[in-house]
Amino acid sequence: MRLTLVKRWLVGPPMPLAQARHERLSKRIALAVFSSDVLSSVAYATEEILLVLVLAGSAAARLDIPIALSITALLAIVTISYQQTIHAYPSGGGSYIVARANLGTVPGLVAAAALLVDYVLTVSVSVAAGVAAVTSALPELATHKVVLGVVCVAGIALGNIRGVRESGRIFAVPTYFFLASFGVLIVSGFYRLLTGSLPIAEPPPMEAVEPLGWFLVLRAFSSGCTAMTGTEAISNGIPAFKPPESRNASITLGWMAAILAVIFVGITVLSSKLGILPMESETVVSQIARRLFGTGLMYYLIQAATALILILAANTSFADFPRLSSLLARDRFVPRQFANLGERLVFSNGILVLAGFAALLLVVFGGDTHALIPLYAVGVFISFTLSQSGMVRHWWVERGAGWGRRLAINGVGATATAIVTLIIAVTKFTHGAWIVVLVIPILVATFMAMSRHYEEVAHGLSLEGFDSPPEFHHTVLVLVGDVHRGVVRAVQYARTLAPTAAVRGVYVETDPARTARIEEKWSRWGLGVPLVVLTSPYRSLLRPLLDYIEHIQARGDDQIVTIVLPEFLPRKWWQHVLHNQTALLVKGALLFRRNIVVADVPYHLKR
């Protein structure tokens, strides 16, 4: 009862299924729920570009603006492509659905595996970057960043388990606080740039450790592409929007892309003009804010907004990972539990699994954003490519008005994202991307194995070609360790299952001195049921019992044996550890044996 009350306090009361339609999101709330990931990435995308460029010396940092503009152009291509996907698949045009419907099962599963991996990494990277923003302003907390990260993941998971609309309200305020704060930062910075009051500076001199070449530039480009992770979230979550779903989702995607482009390019230009380079102890955004506003109130507001949006950006994954898992469960590629709606009308199992894996990554990588980034973006660009390739085939097959123009748009999107996928995989392979490249096929193989299992189960349970069921010869065995009230109750129950002649008590003799006393008590309280005594010279309970069951079943496949287990239950939960767990041992030994039924008969002690 107490646990139930705690759960109600944390999660809230159950919701009726009819409430699901009222849990739909408006465009304003959906922007916060689905866009926090992609919007928050501007807090570290510029820094990731610079971290690679400065390997060729501080002068190479000037390439950050052209790289940022190239990524923005790619963002425009992907956004327009996904807007077409949203209208073509109004029930949810995620990469898995589009790729599986148009390219086949395996490409669909590759897209799903890539997205699932990316969602886990999104949570880990976002939370790690958010904690880094906090420790930039409060360096004394740096030694606790892993603990802070795990606590943040748990808090976001709890917010999502409470329900879609409630989590949307929770995360809308920080998102709009972030947009307002960064709006002030960029407007102030560009106003001072245009009026000549911006303290323009050259970046501090840094010695080159690598030559500046195309490979380094491409590696910087691939690092900056982390700014685009999360772009596909809205197309995955179309059913969460209020009607008309497709129109609202498409408009929200346009808003998101425009805001992202402005903030990303703005941050990159300001960092370049201010001569800012990455520092181990302070983020690029923190340096920009400190140069513009000093260390006053506005600086801390921007740091607080950055930390909040980064930590809560994980909410995008908590919205999409469970939904994608439920689709895979519906198609029998992952355990069916992922398709179950919880009491608050969310896929609670998916939320809990995502939180567990993300917390594990934070612990394994020490909560270090730069250690996690090389694993990032590979998965999402694989899914981009498969989704857009699927849309090309969709338009080619469906045709219809304007199909040529639509095919060309998605074709450009597929080509561009395929090239970027190759760039990211090659340039980041030795820096950790190999892990993702290895994990994705392992996941796909796992999905296929689960699917084969479900097919085998369905075939084994099918009534196709099934003749009339055979007659059973039923034997009921009551397992006796002593003779007490619980055993008498179990014998009463056993007699209701079969004629008395087919019911037997079974006592495994491990101590011959007790046998006579057991037989004497059984003669008085056995209710006319015969008692079989099995000798066990080596004091093993299971082996003689299993041998006796096999002796019965040797008569034919029509022999069904029911094992009745008397169990007495103490009033207090902790008192269970004071007694032998014989029933649990027997159930474990008999679990996978054919034609055996195990029945527990509990006897509740009153004191």
Share of the chain above pLDDT 90, in %: 28
Residue 66 has pLDDT above 90, yes or no: yes
Q: Which H or E run includes 50?
A: helix 42-53
Going by the DSSP 8-state scheme, the letter that residue 209 receives in this structure is S
Residue 22: pLDDT over 70: no
- Per mean pLDDT, which range of 107-111, 393-397, 462-466 is the poorest? 462-466
Burial 346-383 (b: 16+ CB within 10 A, else e): bbbbbbebbbebbbebbeebebebbbbbbbbbbbbbbb
pLDDT in tens, 344-380: 557 788 889 999 999 998 888 887 776 777 777 788 8
Class of domain 2-454: mainly alpha
Q: At what angle do helices 42-53 and 64-88 cross, to 10 degrees?
A: 140
What is the pLDDT averaged over residues 489-511? 88
More confident call, 605 vs 600: 600
Across-strand partners of 561? Answer: 475, 596
Let me know if the fold of 2-454 is the same as that of 473-604.
Answer: no
CA–CA separation, 489 vs 525, rounded Å?
Answer: 10
Contact present, 203 and 58 (Cβ < 8 Å): yes
Average pLDDT of the chain, as a whole number:
84
Q: So what's the pLDDT on residue 445?
A: 96
Amino acid 452: pLDDT: 94
Rg of the chain taking only CA atoms, in angstroms: 32
Question: Which residue did the predictor score with more confidence, 101 or 603?
Answer: 101
Tens of pLDDT, residue by residue over 212-258, are 888 899 989 988 888 887 787 788 778 778 888 888 999 999 999 99
Task: Summarize pLDDT for 398-445 with one digit per residue, the tens.
Answer: 888 888 998 999 999 999 999 988 988 888 887 777 888 889 999 999
Q: Cα separation of 532 and 553, whole Å?
A: 16
- Locate the domains of the chain by residue range: 2-454, 473-604
Calculate mean pLDDT across residues 77-90.
89
Residue 354's pLDDT is what? 92
Q: Which fold has domain 473-604?
A: Rossmann fold (3.40.50)
Q: How far apart are CA 92 and CA 28, in angstroms?
A: 19
Q: How far, in Å, CA of 145 to CA of 11, rounded? A: 27
Is the model's pLDDT at 108 over the cut of 90? yes
pLDDT category at 170 given cuts 50, 70, 90 is low
Determine the angle formed by the axes of helices 348-364 and 145-161, rounding to 10 degrees: 170
Average pLDDT over residues 74-91: 89
At 213 the three-state DSSP class reads coil
H or E, element range at 535: strand 531-535
More confident residue, 480 or 239: 480
Q: How confident is the model at residue 575 (pLDDT cuts 50, 70, 90)?
A: low
Q: For residue 263, is pLDDT > 90?
A: yes
